[in-house]
A and B are shown apart, each in its own frame.
Chain A
């Protein structure tokens, strides 16, 4: 007995030592490794894209192997993790503000948004509705979501990027109605969130709530996520409804300067993001229902992307910094309208 116990203790000591050595030696390995910290619905896109890029990298770098690890979650939560020390080489998040938050902590250069074309957003998307097959509640537009008895599924704007786009799209819709004012918009969004029974932390959680657990009459989600859910769960389960009006969502990407400089991965990380803008990258994005920036690729895939009226955050809200401060910061409008009246 005495022997086995001391042996165990030694084994534990060796285990800890090996662990420290393993993490230390990580950076010196020859095989290149990148970590892409992304938001929720991009799981399938980047799984395919990483293979495409690895092949391209090997072809142009005399066969060098590159492995891209993925981490997914609500966009805000992921930004928080990078700030707390998650060693992302690149972040591919749901909106510019989350990357700004990382930049404010000095991990990314402040001018990141101008370093790549199109506001550093290689693809765009918009927010659409996913309803049960046949659209039994005849949901066509944003004002249908505030009807009494309609149950709406959306993630929490505090943690999810998609949810912030949802919220702002609803707000913009209410604002442009005849006699729309910030006050009517606020009342409209408040009414909408009264119809929300569950607030998941990320877009994928909401999709599972709606599609797998069958809660809710309508899911407000990314265009790509709606198509993915339709494909995953088979035809005849859900219909996608394009409202006549929605918001232009620009999911942004950036190299995390502090991390790539330390790990010596800058060249690969920059190539990884630039390749998103090539025809191959754009084509893959389009096949995964992200709207490509490349005019030719978009033209080829026009039938996938119905032409609806899209407004931008800059036009309606004066930019993300402003929108974040007014609506989603602690004590902001979202907190005010979802606060329960005190008993």
Chain B
């Protein structure tokens, strides 16, 4: 302790000041200013035009589609993430590290590729295109394609939050539960889930934010049909391209708002359950 304090004393105060200023400047330039700009541009012509832009039928369709896509992708990837993390951390099996790498893949490949693979698989000229065509099933350039691309891109979020935590926790408690005669499900819901619920929630929140905000992969498979297959990020691009800058930023601000609300919910829950959280850590 005393060592560290004397080290701090040796640093000239101007250096400390400069470093802090630099950090603040960086934060303002990279994070705060863009956020402020979105809202400033959206409200440039007042609240009337702002709300009018959000109530426009195509904007409403985009909002509905975005929520629908998130409502499908997030539960799917929550179940998948839980199952994958459970399997990877509580059991030993052949090919485990390969599975871990595969789960990470959507993080490392470009979203454009994530979209393009679906065109190559299910597009009219793709591997399964002719087959799907026979049964008149449209995957690409429809809501189904948008959902598929989003599911792929958001696949790792829950699993990636859970795996490190569950690895650190080990499987001692589950083993104890097993010796006491608990079934697999009972062990999962009474032992494992309470231990990981905060990480799980954080993973779900990140997954939701990404599912609503994904642009690249969705842009490839959507076909950009106004009011039908345009999610909010795509609708922002369409509006921007139509010189409707206020409307574009209005929809963008709503998207930013969704993200802020997601983070606020997380902070609120953390504050509300601070005691439980501490108890859990203590254990």
Is there contact, CB below 8 Å, between A12 and B193?
Answer: no
Q: CA separation between A89 and B194, bound complex, in Å? A: 54
- Of the candidate stretches B29-37, B134-142, B252-260, the one touching chain A is B134-142
Is there contact, CB below 8 Å, between A15 and B241?
Answer: no
**Quick check: is B124 within 8 A (CB to CB) of the other chain?**
yes
Chain B contacts of A69 at CB under 8 A? 225-228
Q: CA separation between A148 and B98, bound complex, in Å? A: 55
Is there contact, CB below 8 Å, between B79 and A9?
Answer: yes
Q: CA separation between A161 and B201, bound complex, in Å? A: 48
Chain A minimum-CB-distance residue to B132: A85
Q: CA separation between A260 and B105, bound complex, in Å? A: 40
Of B71, B122, B189, the residue contacting A15 (CB under 8 A) is B71
Chain B minimum-CB-distance residue to A77: B224
Is there contact, CB below 8 Å, between A15 and B68?
Answer: yes
Chain A contacts of B133 at CB under 8 A? 85
Tell me which residues from 1 to 20 in chain A have a Cβ below 8 Å from any Cβ of chain B. 1-2, 5, 8-9, 11-12, 15-16, 19-20
**Quick check: is B76 within 8 A (CB to CB) of the other chain?**
yes
Chain A contacts of B144 at CB under 8 A? 19-20, 23
Is there contact, CB below 8 Å, between B228 and A12?
Answer: no
Of B78, B124, B245, the residue contacting A85 (CB under 8 A) is B124
Q: CA separation between A35 and B222, bound complex, in Å? A: 14
**Quick check: is A227 within 8 A (CB to CB) of the other chain?**
no
Is there contact, CB below 8 Å, between A85 and B123?
Answer: yes
Is there contact, CB below 8 Å, between A15 and B72?
Answer: yes
Is there contact, CB below 8 Å, between B119 and A12?
Answer: no
Q: CA separation between A72 and B185, bound complex, in Å? A: 51
Bits for A81-95, please: 1 = Cβ < 8 Å to B, else 0.
101111100000000
User: In the assembled complex, how far is the CB of residue A64 from the closest CB belonging to chain B, in whole angstroms?
Assistant: 20
Tell me which residues from 173 to 211 in chain A have a Cβ below 8 Å from any Cβ of chain B. 204-205, 208
Of A11, A15, A22, A71, the residue contacting B223 (CB under 8 A) is A71
Interface size on B, residues (CB 8 A): 39
Chain B minimum-CB-distance residue to A44: B242
User: In the assembled complex, how far is the CB of residue B75 from the closest CB belonging to chain A, in whole angstroms?
Assistant: 4
Is there contact, CB below 8 Å, between B75 and A71?
Answer: no
User: In the assembled complex, how far is the CB of residue B192 from the closest CB belonging to chain A, in whole angstroms?
Assistant: 11
**Quick check: is A262 within 8 A (CB to CB) of the other chain?**
yes
Is there contact, CB below 8 Å, between A70 and B226?
Answer: yes
Known A9-B75, A72-B224, A85-B140; 19 more pairs at CB < 8 Å: A1-B189, A8-B78, A12-B71, A12-B75, A19-B72, A23-B142, A35-B225, A44-B242, A69-B228, A72-B241, A84-B119, A84-B124, A85-B122, A85-B125, A85-B138, A87-B141, A208-B240, A232-B243, A233-B243
Of A11, A22, A84, A87, the residue contacting B143 (CB under 8 A) is A22
Chain A minimum-CB-distance residue to B189: A2
Chain B minimum-CB-distance residue to A262: B136
**Quick check: is B153 within 8 A (CB to CB) of the other chain?**
no
Is there contact, CB below 8 Å, between A24 and B124?
Answer: no
**Interface residues of B, Cβ cutoff 8 Å to A:** 68, 71-72, 75-76, 78-79, 119, 122-126, 129, 133, 136-138, 140-144, 147, 185, 189, 193, 223-228, 238, 240-243, 245
Given contacts A11-B75, A84-B119, contact A43 B241 (CB under 8 A): yes
User: In the assembled complex, how far is the CB of residue A162 from the closest CB belonging to chain B, in whole angstroms?
Assistant: 14
Q: List 19 A-B contacts (CB under 8 A).
A: A12-B71, A12-B72, A12-B75, A12-B79, A19-B147, A20-B137, A23-B137, A23-B143, A35-B225, A71-B223, A84-B123, A84-B124, A84-B126, A84-B140, A85-B125, A85-B141, A86-B141, A208-B241, A232-B243
Q: CA separation between A221 and B139, bound complex, in Å? A: 35
Q: CA separation between A15 and B146, bound complex, in Å? A: 14
Is there contact, CB below 8 Å, between B76 and A12?
Answer: yes
**Quick check: is A100 within 8 A (CB to CB) of the other chain?**
no
Is there contact, CB below 8 Å, between A24 and B137?
Answer: yes
Q: CA separation between A212 and B129, bound complex, in Å? A: 40
**Quick check: is A40 within 8 A (CB to CB) of the other chain?**
yes
User: In the assembled complex, how far is the CB of residue B57 from the closest CB belonging to chain A, in whole angstroms?
Assistant: 11
Is there contact, CB below 8 Å, between A86 and B241?
Answer: no
User: In the assembled complex, how far is the CB of residue A39 from the closest CB belonging to chain B, in whole angstroms?
Assistant: 12
Is there contact, CB below 8 Å, between A1 and B193?
Answer: yes
Chain B contacts of A19 at CB under 8 A? 72, 143-144, 147
Is there contact, CB below 8 Å, between A40 and B241?
Answer: yes
Q: CA separation between A85 and B139, bound complex, in Å? A: 9
**Quick check: is A73 within 8 A (CB to CB) of the other chain?**
yes
Given contacts A22-B143, A69-B225, contact A8 B75 (CB under 8 A): yes
Is there contact, CB below 8 Å, between A83 and B125?
Answer: yes
Chain B contacts of A81 at CB under 8 A? 141, 223
Chain A contacts of B147 at CB under 8 A? 16, 19
Chain B contacts of A22 at CB under 8 A? 143
Is there contact, CB below 8 Å, between B137 and A16?
Answer: no
Chain A minimum-CB-distance residue to B197: A1
User: In the assembled complex, how far is the CB of residue A181 from the closest CB belonging to chain B, in whole angstroms?
Assistant: 39
